[in-house]
Amino acid sequence: MVKIINGKEISNSLIEKFKKNVDNLKSEYNICPALAVIIVGDNPASKVYVNNKKKVCEKIGIKSYEFTLPTNTTESELLKLIYGLNRREDINGILVQLPLPSHINEKKIIENINPIKDVDAFNEINIGKIMTGNFNFLPCTPAGIVYLLKESNIKIEGKHCVIIGRSNIVGKPLAMLMLHNDATVTICHSKTKNLKEICKTADILIAAIGKPAFISCDVIKPGAVVVDVGINRDINGHICGDVDFEKVKDIASFITPVPGGVGPMTIAMLMKNTITATLLQKNI
């Protein structure tokens, strides 16, 4: 019978643990980790994500500063804010909520966040460190996925892991992490030939595509582990993943639901990175 991986529950227990870590930092060192979140414009999805992050910060005792800027903010105004936050000793993590309005160069913004405060780990220095395995931070979604697999006692070593999606924030760093965990990794994308056949060879199939119900039972090897990263809206406006959950659950051994799977883990890993950044900056 399929086991549904409860990301919400796993992330809640991590949040409890992080709360104790933060309490300890406060009582032993008089230090309170602080995260600055910058949001430009009024993208409704971004607002929801930022709010969720703020709520979890509050639960853990991490101080959160929100900088809400209008859509017409210039690139140099945003850079000026980031330079200021880079210098502030009371700010340990800086996160710029993506996407940014099209007149702002996202890459330039991310590259100007001090790598030791880059809690999303999108900066090229942090991405490079992931390649060598010598990293301080891992991008939150890939780190959350590996944590979910390990917490569910799913063996990664020697398994064929097929990842659909090659974005810089999910697919590529996740491939590297799975490789560090001794999986044999195949990365697929929109130009991949024979996608269905490749998926059918996956012991662990991870979908990070952004298309509702793209993965159905006809591409799943019986007993495969299926991780759904997608966050989409179905035709009724409900949140759904890239995997046709109802059909795939009858053939998979493990599956993550949407919502309640990978999503909560992404926020938990952001909290972890903020605490790590604080420890690094304070030499603890």
User: Which amino acids are annotated catalytic?
Assistant: 53, 97, 120
Q: How far is the CB of 80 from ligand NDP (least distance, A)?
A: 28
Regarding 10 and contact with ligand NDP (CB under 6 A), the answer is no
Which of the ranges 62-70, 122-130, 150-158, 209-217 carries the binding residues for ligand NDP, by CB under 6 A? 209-217
Q: Among all residues, whose Cβ is closest to ligand NDP?
A: 167
Which of the ranges 24-32, 111-119, 177-185, 223-231 carries the binding residues for ligand NDP, by CB under 6 A? 223-231
Regarding 61 and contact with ligand NDP (CB under 6 A), the answer is no
Q: How far is the CB of 232 from ligand NDP (least distance, A)?
A: 5
Q: How far is the CB of 163 from ligand NDP (least distance, A)?
A: 9
**3-class secondary structure per residue, the chain:** CCEECCHHHHHHHHHHHHHHHHHHHHHHHCCCCEEEEEEECCCHHHHHHHHHHHHHHHHHCCEEEEEEECCCCCHHHHHHHHHHHHHCCCCCEEEECCCCCCCCCHHHHHHCCCHHHECCCCCHHHHHHHHHCCCCCCCHHHHHHHHHHHHCCCCCCCCEEEEECCCCCCHHHHHHHHHHCCCEEEEECCCCCCHHHHHHCCCEEEECCCCCCCECHHHCCCCCEEEECCCEECCCCCEECCECHHHHCCCCCEECCCCCCHHHHHHHHHHHHHHHHHHHHCCC
Regarding 263 and contact with ligand NDP (CB under 6 A), the answer is yes
Regarding 257 and contact with ligand NDP (CB under 6 A), the answer is no
Regarding 191 and contact with ligand NDP (CB under 6 A), the answer is yes
- From residue 132, how far is each of 69, 116, 183, 226 by CA, in Å? 36, 17, 16, 27
Nearer to ligand NDP, 25 or 220 (CB): 220
Nearer to ligand NDP, 80 or 189 (CB): 189
Q: How far is the CB of 192 from ligand NDP (least distance, A)?
A: 6
Regarding 229 and contact with ligand NDP (CB under 6 A), the answer is yes
Regarding 114 and contact with ligand NDP (CB under 6 A), the answer is no
Find the binding residues for ligand NDP in span 150-189 (CB under 6 A). 164-167, 169-171, 188-189
Nearer to ligand NDP, 85 or 148 (CB): 148
Regarding 139 and contact with ligand NDP (CB under 6 A), the answer is no
**Which residue from 1, 61, 70 is spatially nearest to 33, judged by alpha carbons?**
61
Nearer to ligand NDP, 21 or 46 (CB): 46
Site residues, ligand NDP (CB under 6 A): 141, 164-167, 169-171, 188-192, 195, 208-211, 229-232, 262-263, 266
